[in-house]
Amino acid sequence: MEFVDNFWFQLVLKLAGILGVVLTGALVVIYAELKIGSHMQTRIGPYYAGGRWGWAQPLADGLKFLQKEDLSPTGSDRTVYGFAPYVVMMATIAVFVVVPFGPDMVGANLDLGAFYLLAISSLSVLGVLMAGWSSANKYSLIGGLRAAAQLIAYELPLVLAVVAVVIQAGTMSLNGIVDAQQQTWFTIGSFNISAPFIIQGQILGFAIFMIAAVAELSRIPFDMPIAESELTMGYLTEYSGIRFTMFFLGEYASMISLSAIAATLYLGGYAVPGVHGNIVNLLGPGVLLTKVAILVFVIIWIRWTWPRLREDQLQTLAWTWLIPLALLNIAIVSIFKVVF
């Protein structure tokens, strides 16, 4: 079994695994969004492509986009315009390096895991800003600026919510955070009770993280950057064909990655209560993906039931509510850590 431990062999396996999860996951989420949205709003939704339930709709969309002409408007900055989807996709895929699907099922168990994913996930702002600026279109420019203002405003509650988790776990490695949630919380008689962080007093942190995550994804109710009724499609207005698809795929892939991170930080990640050893490597991915599916459903649910926030309202929400609340959360968690 020499070659199984080989670094390069493992790397190829990890790549294949993550790409499979990301791409099929994104397609499944797109389909789920179409179906759930149509059920929630009493629309028809996809029902034709692929026969039953229109299951092939995202594939058909992808094939259609692949055949479309790749347009760039006159006067646009072609280099930056072409490169923007690369930046978004690279940042999106790179986040998955630290997401643990099992004790050993992780791209790389970085000591700085939590810090790394915050740094990398904020890189996609750069791609969005590049797309908005280079399109030479007023809608795109306004959309890009709004996106940048929104993403930096909600980056802070996201970071500060993660800080509280780091305080509680005492480590920034995501595997370490999952392990910390399996440690004994308290004992009743001879029973050791352990619980995920959401039960151990992080409910406020989880709420802040999820609100900020939805805002980072620029989804309703925080979709001012691509508000269709006023900006057509925001920073994506001029994009067509395959480059648009890449932004689109990236958006759904980061929905999965943010949900996976939320599940890891607050809901116990891949851990199965009472099960230890190598078997967790097999069960872990299923457990994590179930949690991801629940969170993704909630995010889709929010999108199809809530109205959009106005630009100044969403800035006010971030700066006057979420950031002070996140700091309060840090204070509470750190006081508990020191006193008990």
Partner 1 sequence: MLNQYYGDYITVAVFVAIGAILVGGAVAANRAIAPRAPGGFKDVAYESGIEPIGGGWNQSHIRYYIFALLFLIFDVEAVFIFPWALQLEFFSSIGSGLTVLVEMFVFVGILLLGLVYAIRKGVLTWE
Interactions with partner 1, residue window 207-236 (CB under 8 A)? 232
Contact status: 204 vs partner 1 (CB under 8 A):
no
The nearest distance, CB 290 to partner 1, in angstroms, is 24
Nearer to partner 1, 93 or 260 (CB): 93
Contact status: 245 vs partner 1 (CB under 8 A):
yes
The nearest distance, CB 299 to partner 1, in angstroms, is 22
Residues in the chain: 340
Q: Which of 38, 194, 200, 334 binds partner 1 (CB under 8 A)?
A: 334
**Amino acid, single-letter form, for residue 21:** V
User: How many chain residues interact with partner 1 (CB under 8 A)?
Assistant: 81
Q: Where are the beta strands (DSSP E) in the chain?
A: 186-188, 191-193
DSSP symbol at 126: H
- Cis peptide leading into 221, omega within 30 of 0? yes
For residue 24, give both structure tokens.
């099929």
In sequence order, the 6+-apart residues with CB closer than 8 A to the CB of 163 are 330
Q: Which residues pair with 188 in a beta bridge?
A: 191
Q: Which of 139, 295, 165 is nearest to 219 (CA)?
A: 295
Q: Which of 3, 4, 5, 277 binds partner 1 (CB under 8 A)?
A: 5
Burial per residue of 150-163, b for 16 or more beta-carbon CB atoms within 10 angstroms, e otherwise: bbebbbbbbbbbbb
Query: SS3 of 167, please?
Result: helix
Q: Which of 85, 100, 143, 234 binds partner 1 (CB under 8 A)?
A: 85
Of 150-169, binders to partner 1 (CB under 8 A) are 152-153, 155-156, 159-160, 163, 166-167
Contact status: 18 vs partner 1 (CB under 8 A):
yes
Contact status: 330 vs partner 1 (CB under 8 A):
yes
Q: Which of 29, 34, 56, 94 binds partner 1 (CB under 8 A)?
A: 94
